[in-house]
Structure 1
Amino acid sequence: MEIVAAQGPQPQQSVSLRNKEIEKKGKWSFILNNFFQLLFYLHLLLIFILELVLTFHGLVSSSRKHRFDAKNWYLQVLSSTALAGILGYICQTYTTVNANRILKAAFWLSPLLTIIYGVLLVSIGTPVSVAASAFAILSSILQALYSCWVTPRFENAVKILKVSSAYHPTRTNAAAVAVILFAGVLYSSFLLAAIGGASAANTKSGGVFILLLLVSFIWTMQLIKNMIQVTVSHIKYLKFANGEDAGLKVALNSAVNSMESICIGSISIPVLVVLRGLARGVRWVSGDVDEFMFSCTSCCAVIGSRAILYANRWCFVHVGVYNKGIVQASSDTWEIFERVGIQEVIDSDLTSAFCFFCGTSVGSACGIMAGSWARATHEDYAAPVSIYAFLAGYFLVRVAMAWIQASVTAYYVAYAENPRSQQFDNTIPNHLQWLQRSRA
């Protein structure tokens, strides 16, 4: 009887232990499956606390030690971010109204404004500004050469922008973009105010804080941009593919459910895009020349061809619609492009370059305004204010133009999945024929 009494509770204990083990495994599984999402939220909380502390430190330094002129700093950075928000909204809205003019303006104004911005940085004369000016001037030259090279493709780029902007929910678009840009302006202003507080410290720790804030800013703005791409491409894809009208709420819920993939893509895609761009640049420069300095051409070609299978901007359509991971969505979409035979059209698309040029144009304009103002009132702030204003302007415009990029992305993916659909005209086939004729 004693033995039976001792053994009686064991099944219940084993069940409870098994349940606890399942709960632990479930928690660990949740953490692993949402690691980057949780990391983003945690980093956002810590950065918010850091920004509060640094902003308070800047205000205290301004009132007591007079080493930090808070009034000038805040006025300049707030004005530049406000200008970026306004210009970003204009770029996005005007693209849907007159794509031809805004595209040409972006490709020709960007090199001009960038070189003016570079000259301003040279005139400031600090080591940081001179280094940044070298990058800006080199970038302006490359932009000008690229603009000349792709001029024959402007006509097709305009057609793609027009057809992908069809079924455009104007009121929803205007309200959504305005709200997002307003939030972006507030976030950027708060971050730049915190950078001012870190600059007031004038120590090594201040430099570390600034670096952390900038990394956080880039990741956050990339994530916001990609959230818009997932949401909008979901809506536009269903319209192009099936003629369905997906609500903004449904698409937004889908984007929230894909937050882990978006967090990963916001880190991996920019890195792999840069690697692929470098690989294509080396391959283009080397050509068929067999020299030692170009011995890595074949290696770069392999890197470029493989990188696009693991992460590309086209994947966000399948991320939102089918809730796929970044790698699977990237490989699936690119395989569809290859199967249909339009990968050459995809490679020659100018939408991403157009959005980039819009960003550099507005970023340079903001940097010129803020840098000139700072140089006239507080020359010590001229270099950092102009650089931070450029970054804020660039990323705010990229967020604004994410709607346009998502529309084009959805159009290409929907076409590749069903090229014979009555939803599409001859824009893509005609461009493919033009590319084949120009290559022959």
Structure 2
Amino acid sequence: MEKGMVSSLADVPIGDSGSVEDGGCTTAARNIPISPAQVDATEVVYRRPTANFAARFAKILFFAHLVAVAILIIFLSLRGFLGRNPAFRPAHWFAPLLTAAVSSALVAILWLLFVLRHPAKVIKASLWLAPSLVCAVAVLLLTDGGSSSLAFAVLGLLLALVQSLYGCWIVRRLHHAYEILSISIAAVQPTTTLAKYVALALLAGLVFSSIWTLGAGGVAAGGGSRFAPLYVLLLLLSLGWTMQAIRYMVLVAVAQLAYLSLAFGTETAVPVAFEAAANGALGDVCYGSAVIPLVVAIRGTARAMGLIAGGSDEFLFSCASCYVGIADHLVVRGNRWGFVYARVHGKGLGNASAEVWEMFIKQGMGQLIDTDITSSLCFLSGVTGGGVAALVAGSWATAADKGHVTEATVYAFIIGYFMTRIAMAWPQACVAAYHVVFAENPQSRRMGPCIPTRLRELRSSPH
């Protein structure tokens, strides 16, 4: 199926069932009948990707890293517990962290259900829950009294302050965020099968994080080894890459379901989408899970520098524009929208990201994409999940043993954050697919007036 065919199929007459309500963003796209002769959904989902060295190398490196981290965890566990510091109590270490991991999985599931049923309330809740919970975690760390606890507590308070200010800054964008989130998640109907696959992804994250705590416990039990910071860094990098890979696997599969529904008004079997994501997109998932978070971080800091610098030509800000340009170039070659396009057209993530970004610019959607806060809301949701997990582990560790309160709290926060982000890959994938489908064919009557209305608002806005 060629690119032109994808666009033309989106123009198939849809009849009454595809009508859009005037003045709103609701649509009945998921109920639009379409004949098998018009589009072969299996062909779209199973389109084999082109040869991609970066994806193949990333996949090999990812599995090699899993083997290496397994060896490292075994080594750290044996080394730490055989020569264990008498002050280290395994029960006081593992019980809080494992309980926090399980609680974060439950929070992730409940939060996802909340998003699917009440997206507007979730947006509002995340804006005040995330900074409140982070502030509570910071207060908990202050009670520990150590220097590291103080450092993380100050960092937490700063994060809570930034999140609060950000919540005030994006007030004008919330209405559009609610509209596009509501209409896009409606394209993928919750089913028992889809819930099972998302639950399996969360279970995979739970199992890996539980095993990961063995290595972290080995470092804590080993006392003050000079290589301890290096071991912790390697463990954290492994945790981040693995959890991001699980998250993007869910995002790729759900994005295909949303794309087919929004572009063609048809559905495909959930197992088919996840199997295709695992077989055809695994290399791109491994590559993207390592590159995209880095690109997002660089672009975020670049935009912050740009806002601080403004039009200043002082030496302190002389490199701000250069840094922003580098960040903008990187996001073209690696972004989450590329996952949607990569699977549809069988391209590597880098080329797909570049093509879909060019398509956004061609359709005049650059500012809309820049001001989209879906990713930020998913981040705040992850912070909420991390805050709950950190409070569970930190409170338990404080009550049981004050020896490793800071480590248990911080590790629990990180695990809880990633677990919630895995669940939030579902709505984020739907929004990404909605953007891509609209960019492919803005005239499609399935899409509704949501994006055109927002584009008119942005063009008429003085800022």
TM-score, normalised relative to structure 2: 0.84
* Residues in 2 aligned to 1:32 and 1:179: alpha-carbon distance in whole angstroms: 27
SS of the equivalent of 2:143 reads helix
Aligned residue type for 1:314:
W
* Residues in 2 aligned to 1:301 and 1:32: alpha-carbon distance in whole angstroms: 25
Deviation at 1:30, TM superposition (A): 9.9
Matched, 1:228 2:250: yes
Deviation at 1:301, TM superposition (A): 3.0
SS of the equivalent of 2:266 reads coil
Superposed counterparts of 1:348-367, under 5 Å:
348-367=371-390
TM-score, normalised relative to structure 1: 0.88
CA contact (8 A) 1:95 1:102 kept: yes
Matched, 1:183 2:209: no
Superposed counterparts of 1:167-182, under 5 Å:
167-170=187-190, 171-182=192-203
* Residues in 2 aligned to 1:214 and 1:32: alpha-carbon distance in whole angstroms: 23
- Partner of residue 24, structure 1: none
Q: Which has the larger radius of gyration?
A: 1
**1:122-155: per-residue Cα shift (whole Å, max 9, x none)?**
3322222222222211111111111001012111
Deviation at 1:163, TM superposition (A): 0.5
SS of the equivalent of 2:444 reads coil
* Residues in 2 aligned to 1:190 and 1:321: alpha-carbon distance in whole angstroms: 35
Find the partner of 2:154 among 121, 131, 134: 134
CA contact (8 A) 2:385 2:419 kept: no
Aligned residue type for 1:313:
R
Deviation at 1:261, TM superposition (A): 1.8
Superposed counterparts of 1:202-217, under 5 Å:
202=223, 203-217=225-239
Deviation at 1:365, TM superposition (A): 2.0
- Asked which structure has the greater RCO (Cα within 8 Å, sep 6+), the reply is 2
CA contact (8 A) 2:144 2:406 kept: yes
**Taking structure 1 as reference, are residues 439 and 173 closer, same or farther at Cα in structure 2, changes over 3 Å only?**
farther
CA contact (8 A) 1:269 1:312 kept: yes
- Partner of residue 426, structure 1: 449
**1:32-90: per-residue Cα shift (whole Å, max 9, x none)?**
8722211111111222233244445555566xx64431111111001111111011111
* Residues in 1 aligned to 2:214 and 2:189: alpha-carbon distance in whole angstroms: 35
- Partner of residue 80, structure 1: 100
CA contact (8 A) 2:338 2:352 kept: yes
* Residues in 2 aligned to 1:151 and 1:422: alpha-carbon distance in whole angstroms: 29
Matched, 1:150 2:170: yes
Judge which range, 176-185 or 399-408, deviates more. Answer: 176-185
**Taking structure 1 as reference, are residues 148 and 31 closer, same or farther at Cα in structure 2, changes over 3 Å only?**
closer
* Residues in 2 aligned to 1:33 and 1:207: alpha-carbon distance in whole angstroms: 30
How many residues align? The count is 410
- Partner of residue 93, structure 1: 113
* Residues in 1 aligned to 2:179 and 2:109: alpha-carbon distance in whole angstroms: 21
Judge which range, 172-181 or 140-149, deviates more. Answer: 172-181
CA contact (8 A) 1:110 1:143 kept: yes
* Residues in 2 aligned to 1:390 and 1:206: alpha-carbon distance in whole angstroms: 20
Find the partner of 1:249 among 237, 258, 271: 271
Superposed CA RMSD in Å reads 2.0
* Residues in 1 aligned to 2:257 and 2:280: alpha-carbon distance in whole angstroms: 15
Aligned residue type for 1:80:
A
* Residues in 2 aligned to 1:289 and 1:59: alpha-carbon distance in whole angstroms: 56
Matched, 1:266 2:289: yes
**1:83-112: per-residue Cα shift (whole Å, max 9, x none)?**
110111111111010001111000111111
Aligned residue type for 2:246:
I
Aligned residue type for 2:347:
K
Higher helix share: 1
CA contact (8 A) 1:230 1:319 kept: no
- Partner of residue 7, structure 1: none
Find the partner of 1:219 among 214, 225, 241: 241
Judge which range, 118-127 or 325-334, deviates more. Answer: 118-127
Find the partner of 2:300 among 259, 277, 284: 277
Aligned residue type for 1:385:
A
What is the identity percentage for the equivalent residue pairs of Structure 1 and Structure 2?
35
- Partner of residue 3, structure 1: none
* Residues in 1 aligned to 2:362 and 2:65: alpha-carbon distance in whole angstroms: 41
* Residues in 2 aligned to 1:265 and 1:439: alpha-carbon distance in whole angstroms: 36
Judge which range, 263-272 or 173-182, deviates more. Answer: 173-182
* Residues in 2 aligned to 1:349 and 1:242: alpha-carbon distance in whole angstroms: 24
* Residues in 1 aligned to 2:290 and 2:73: alpha-carbon distance in whole angstroms: 22
* Residues in 1 aligned to 2:361 and 2:58: alpha-carbon distance in whole angstroms: 31
Deviation at 1:388, TM superposition (A): 0.2
Deviation at 1:372, TM superposition (A): 2.0
SS of the equivalent of 2:210 reads helix
Gaps of 5+ in 1: 1-28
**1:238-276: per-residue Cα shift (whole Å, max 9, x none)?**
211112312223322332222222212111111111111
Judge which range, 82-91 or 116-125, deviates more. Answer: 116-125
